Structures are given as structure tokens and as C-alpha cells.
Structure 1
């Protein structure tokens, strides 16, 4: 069971380490995977790691998100206070900037977001410094990843499966990234970005999987985040995307869309850790990436 942190504990943590923030309004946020999130006042959020990998991801955010925030033209949840492990909570935690907007799994982005996302990723995808985090599952060759066959059997029909297999084979066959490792967000799916009432992108969330590597991982957002017909304008606006990078990005989109479906189905079935809104987002992303 993934733990939850109740309001009295959050208040006690703030009063113990950041008493000037302890009396601000506090309300739970529906969302988060590795972190349980509470909104603090109008401008802040408290992030408390609740999975086994959560503390390490949060420490990486505390170290590197202030650096990435300086690169990006969009708001991000940059840490403003650090919480230390204590008798109240035996793990680090963070007070971060609140990023205003509606998560894209609740209100999908529009075509207008293609240019905004392209500009943001052009700014982010610069060579990462020595010591930047590396991941075993993001920014790496797709050959290291496995499509969950049992999920495919449940969510993909025969016609779509043939197309999926072709896209996956093309991604695996594409030449590997041979440039310098670039900064990556690492987890660009609909619940990790927010939009405005016009469908434009206005913020990037949850940098727990930030790492250095192949930008194709992030470029999968062309199909994961954007509506029908927006992938090509996005890739054109991003620029410097050769056929191999596009093929790898499409493969990453297949892998990530299937992951969204898996987590979404778990939510629909009421299983712990599931997110019901991720299933329609995953289906839409898979349909887009498999379109001829």
C-alpha cells in the first residue's frame, strides 16, 4: 500500500522546520505518484516522497531543478525550502513553487501548445554537465526496454498490434543517439504538464525522473501530449530532428502510451496506485502514434 501523509503531519513538519509557512492554508492535491502533494497557500506545494524510490528522486529535484528552471521559459515546481529527515518523517521532503494550470490528463492540450512545447524542449535539451543524473529507463537505447506483452494483449486489437510492432521494430533499428547527453525532463506525460483555458501549455511538473541522455525520450511528447495533427508541427518547430531521432521518439511514445494504459486500467479497476484518467490519455496517445 502506498502511504498517505495526513494534514496534521504536514503541519507538524512545517512548524518544526519552516514555522513561517506553517499557518498557510493547506489542502491535499489529487495526483502524484512517487510524491504525495499538498498545496500550501496560493503559491507553494509540499512534496513528500511515498515510494521506495521517492527520496532519491526528490533529492535529485532539490539539486538540479533550480538549474533547469533557469533554462526553461515555462514555470516549474522549483524547490524553495528543503525538508530534512527527522523523527517526524524519516525522509527528505520539499516545499516547491506551485505551478498554476489544469493537468492535461483532465483537460487535453490544443494544437497551440505544439510551438510552446517545442520552444521549452529546445531550451531544456542542452548538453548536461558532468555529474548529471543518468537513468536506466529514460534517455537510454530502447533495446533495454520491454513492451509489456500482457498489457498489449488486453488493450490493442490485431490491426493496431501489427502497426505497433512495425513502429517498435523501426525504433529499435534506428541508429542510436551519438551526441552529448542532453538534459531531459524524463517523464512528459499528460499528468505532468498543465495547460490554460486556451489549451496552451503553461507549466511542466514533476522532475523526479530528470536525467541526461537521448532527447528522443522527451520528444515522445509529440504524441503523448499533443492532439491529432500536432506532432509534425511540433517536430518542425523543435528543429534538428532527423529520421532516426523521430523513429526513436515514436518508439518511446508507444512504450509510454502502453504504460499510461496499464496504470489507467488499474485505476478503473480500483487497484492501488492506479490513475483512471490515464487510460483515455493512453488510448489517445497510442492511436496518434500508430496513425499512418
Structure 2
């Protein structure tokens, strides 16, 4: 079936989708108080979130719908992972949305996901206004990713653009370099080439978030109805995949360009404790390359900038690029 390059644009269209939701086991329509009128609550590069109701404890419920064809292809990966309690058990040291229901890909209007909304402050916006918060948030993200990065479940999708060898993303980086100012482009190129020169990942395919940049991180707000209000929230699991952890870890540099948070990760991740210094050092270089690649994408391809956290992500990317020039890629083996 052909789909337009946008999701529903009116509350009536969203309401029609809600009538076709297939609820997850243990969830029923009666547990959700429908909003009188759906309203758009968030929009990213790939998906839009519509506020459609609330649970009995006040937790807001949103319908996540794709905006373009690529998002339609990967949203089922998010649905599958969030619905798998074995892959993402509650014991992990971060919060994530709860899957309440879905419209499957082969159903009219599908795919779409009915999820709980994590109340709080988007980290990209918080760091833009309060830069001093970044190191602590980077440490929280490092701890979260160290716990997440375990051997991926059987059948978990391999990434097409994340978790892959750097050489497979070279064409994209080369296309973006001319769109950057010259000093920024040179810093991106230098970090990218250093990553390309590092050893490639030869470990197991690890379970990755896929896109843990500061715009997909939430610090729960005080007074949230959720019990785990002290934990960092990881949202937008559409790019979840299996592969090289360096692509996830590039996000750490956007909060801590010094690499200190990556040292915390290396001291906690199960695989890293068993790895030799050469393997850990190669990971640092590849992660820096991914950080530079994300910065190039953010700075050269704004999307829905007036409606998203793109301006805050751009500030984060520039801070990271500037920090790269102040911190050389010295050998680190964790701490």
C-alpha cells in the first residue's frame, strides 16, 4: 500500500485511528480516559505524538504515528522491543514508554503505537538553558547504556544506519561536509578519519537504543505520577537495532565532550570489563566519529525546526564540536 509522506493532520483522523487500536495483554480500552479532542504534543524528524487520553493515575497517553515511509518501516521495531518485557525488564536503570496498544503495519492506518508519555524536561532543552547540568546527565546516560548494551535478542533487527561499520556511513558524511562552515567541517572530518582508522567492532551484536541523542532523553519532572522520577528517560526507540555500541555512545560526547562519561560506561559495561585496552581505545575513536557524524547531520539538515528540539540539538552539536578541539582522543581504558 502506498502511504503519503505525513501522518494524520486532524483530531478526527487521530480519533479514527484510536478506534482501530489492538490493546496489549493486560490493557483495555476502559483503562484509558479518552481526551475530548486529540492534540499534537510532539513532533520529531520521523514521527508525531498525539495526546489522546490518560490512565487512571494521570499518566498521559499518546498515539505515535509515522511521518514518512522510513518511519513506517522502523516503528514496528520499537513496538516489538517495548512490548518485550524480557528484553527491557523494569530493573534497567532508565525509564522508557510503556506500550499500551498498536495498529499493526498491515492494518488500515498502520503502523501506530499507543504509548505512555514520560513527563519531564527534554535534556537537549535543559542543557541549552543550564549547561552545568550536562556532565551529570552524561553520567546517567553512560550508566543507562552500559546496562542496555547486552547481547541482542534473537531476531532483533540489524541496523541500516546505526550500529554499522563507519565505512558504510562515509558517503553521508562526505555529502554533509560541504554544507558546514569550514572550521566545523574540518573538525568533523578529523574525528571521522580517526574513527575510520580504528579497529572495527568484532564483538557480539549488542542491543542498542539506536538514537539516544539529547532530544530523546527526558529528565522526569518533580511530581510526576510515575514512581521512578529520579531516573533518566529514554524515548523514541524506532532506531533500535543490534550491532556496534559505538553508534549509541557517540551521544555521550554531545553531553560531555571530554569523554569522561565514556570512561564511566567502559567501567560498567559487561563486555568492556572483559575487553583489552586496544578494543576499548578503538571504541573511543569510533564513538567520537559517530558524535561528529551526528553533529554534521544536525547542523546540515534541520527538520521541522520550528516545532521540534532542533535548535537545542544544534546548540548541543556546536558545543560538542568545540569541545572536540579542546580534548584530544587520548587513549582511555575506563576508570
Structure 2 length normalisation: TM-score? 0.75
Q: Does structure 1 residue 120 correspond to structure 2 residue 124?
A: no
Cα distance change on mapping 1:173 and 1:80 into 2, 3 Å: same
Corresponding residue pairs, total = 284
Contact 1:2 1:273 in 2 (8 A): no
Among residues 13, 17, 27, which one is paired with 1:13 in the alignment?
17
Cα distance change on mapping 1:49 and 1:22 into 2, 3 Å: farther
Question: Counterpart of 1:212 in 2: which secondary structure?
Answer: strand
Among residues 66, 69, 72, which one is paired with 1:55 in the alignment?
72
Q: Show the counterpart of 1:102.
A: 121
Cα distance change on mapping 1:62 and 1:164 into 2, 3 Å: closer
Structure 1 length normalisation: TM-score? 0.85
Q: Distance in 1 between matches of 2:168 and 2:104?
A: 35
Cα distance change on mapping 1:35 and 1:161 into 2, 3 Å: closer
Q: What is the CA distance between 1:150 and its match in structure 2?
A: 5.3
Q: Does structure 1 residue 236 correspond to structure 2 residue 255?
A: no
Contact 2:179 2:300 in 1 (8 A): no
Contact 1:183 1:211 in 2 (8 A): yes
Q: Distance in 2 between matches of 1:228 and 1:154?
A: 23
Q: Show the counterpart of 2:321.
A: 286
Question: Counterpart of 2:19 in 1: which secondary structure?
Answer: helix
The more displaced of 164-173 and 133-142 is: 164-173
Question: Counterpart of 1:116 in 2: which secondary structure?
Answer: helix
Q: Show the counterpart of 1:83.
A: 103
CA offsets per residue over residues 103-142 of structure 1, 9 Å max, x none?
2232225221233112211111001132111012111110
- CA RMSD in angstroms comes to 2.9
The more displaced of 54-63 and 101-110 is: 101-110
Contact 2:47 2:64 in 1 (8 A): yes
Question: Counterpart of 1:30 in 2: which secondary structure?
Answer: strand
Q: Does structure 1 residue 212 correspond to structure 2 residue 242?
A: yes
Cα distance change on mapping 1:61 and 1:222 into 2, 3 Å: same
Q: Show the counterpart of 1:73.
A: 93
Cα distance change on mapping 1:72 and 1:209 into 2, 3 Å: same
CA offsets per residue over residues 180-201 of structure 1, 9 Å max, x none?
1100011121211112579x86
Cα distance change on mapping 1:150 and 1:82 into 2, 3 Å: closer
Q: Distance in 1 between matches of 2:287 and 2:257?
A: 16
Q: Where do 5+ consecutive residues of structure 2 fail to align? A: 24-28, 128-132, 223-229, 273-278, 328-335
Q: What is the CA distance between 1:94 and its match in structure 2?
A: 1.1
Q: Distance in 2 between matches of 1:86 and 1:181?
A: 29
